Copies of this chain bind each other. A is one copy, B any other.
Amino acid sequence: MTSSNILDALDSAQDRHLAELIEWLKIPSVSSDSTRKTETAAAARWVADKLQASGLATETMCTDGHPLVLAETPAISGAPIALVYGHYDVQPAEPLEDWVSGAFEPTIRDGNLYARGATDDKGQVLTHIQSVCDWMATGQPLPLQIKFLIEGEEEVGSGNLERMMPSLRERLACDCVVISDSSQYAKNQPAITYGLRGIATYELKIQGPTQDLHSGSFGGAVMNPAIALCHLLSSMVDDGGRIQIDGYYDDVAPLSDAERAAWAKLPQSDKQFAKEVGVDALFGEAGFTTDERRWGRPTFDINGLTSGHQGEGVKTIIPATASAKISFRLVPHQDPKKLTESLERHIEKHLAVGVRASLKPDHGAPGMAADPESRYAKAAARAIESAFGTAPVMIREGGSIPIVIRFQDVLQCDCLLLGWGLSDDNTHSPNEKFCVQDYYRGIKASAMLWAELGKLNQA
């Protein structure tokens, strides 16, 4: 079968593709909402039925939460295996009054399909399902085996899948994982994301006196826990955003000249970026561009501060406690466990006299970097270029997707993050949307990807 045959078939099926996505989007599968359990199960059944009806061996597997949908095309001896990961659950739609059209009443305006889950992730994962099902419908064999793992708890942390991963190792065995749950670099500028930052989060609490003290009677004689906290947090990072914890940069994978050169070519305006987030000026570690700082450099952030009097007016106290939620974004080769140890030493060394500190690690995951020059990445680049008419740029992202790290760990496979969305898709906000043309182009790119990956076998 030539590529053009399947591409023609996909072209002529666009109305059905759109109708099916709309059907799926009408199901309010909000995984965090216990009153939506039935609907969430219905969304799982919808996709399982679709895969089953197209001839894939399909199973709906129970978990302690929402079910996993597993499906696969026939094994092809000697051919590579691709595993498509996605999710059928969606974020809550609230605040409902901010939606122009109903969150679960998919509506097209200006070439975009508006609905909760349109891009995150029903619309995106459906591109791969459509391409596989339609390919199978042509009667021609796929040039590789494709497995699907569609979960229902991505928006609530993927806890059950993470726990079940080792037991699913053989079932999910593959050469590369394909995930479309992210964004293009910009409108009409597709991207392949080959790296993610890791994360380590903590709660840091400073305990001072047994109870709040009168700042008149005790001020100047008893260490103020909020001051101790500010001094301690300040000691962790300098004015220039450079982290001051001993050894923090030891394992940091340096950015390669090649990727720095590639990123430098991306269309990017610091001025525009600052305007979009509403600040007068950007900021960051000296010697790095904005994209380098966001994607390839480790960071420290304070996510929350709590101490003493927070209401109206004045309460002149030395607060008994002060606490901070803090997080670090890690780059490949940095180990969250090692960071915890360094952080504990740092606190011991820098803590003020007269207060006690406790550090509670929450969760940690290392960063991920795939090879942007791998044969899988190159195959994906060819597929995307032919569908979008533009070669994708190779980028990393600053966020962390712990499940991706788990795929790499457990399945020892490559990982392709192919985002069809746009950064203004409002994925966790009202008026989530997905550009209809990108949905169609995503389906084509997906089909071309199977063709390209299939060729690797023949090489």
Chain A residues within CB distance 8 Å of chain B: 197, 199, 201, 208-211, 213-224, 226-227, 229-231, 233-234, 237, 239, 241, 273-274, 277-285, 290, 293-294, 297-310, 313-319, 322, 324-325, 327, 329, 352-356, 362-363, 397-400
Contact = CB atoms under 8 A, between A and B. Distances in A.
B313 A362 contact: yes
Given A227-B237, A230-B230, A304-B319, 7 more contacts: A215-B329, A219-B327, A220-B297, A280-B354, A283-B352, A305-B306, A315-B325
Contact of A294 (B208, B219, B290, B316): B219
B302 A399 contact: no
Given A216-B398, A231-B239, A308-B303, A211 B278 contact: yes
Q: Quick one: copies of this chain in the complex?
A: 2
Nearest to A288: B220
Nearest to A300: B227
Contacts of A215: 299, 301, 303, 327, 329
A14 to B, nearest CB: 32
A397 to B, nearest CB: 7
Point out which of A241, A305, A319, A324 has the most chain B C-beta atoms below 10 A from its C-beta.
A305
A356 B199 CA distance: 28
A294 B211 CA distance: 18
Given A199-B216, A220-B241, A356 B325 contact: no
B230 A285 contact: no
18 contacts: A199-B316, A201-B314, A215-B327, A216-B399, A220-B298, A226-B304, A226-B305, A227-B301, A229-B230, A234-B234, A239-B352, A283-B353, A302-B307, A303-B309, A303-B315, A308-B325, A314-B325, A314-B363
Contacts of A285: 220
A350 to B, nearest CB: 9
A298 B220 CA distance: 8
Contacts of A399: 214, 216-217
A6 B305 CA distance: 60
A233 B389 CA distance: 53
A25 to B, nearest CB: 24
Contacts of A197: 216
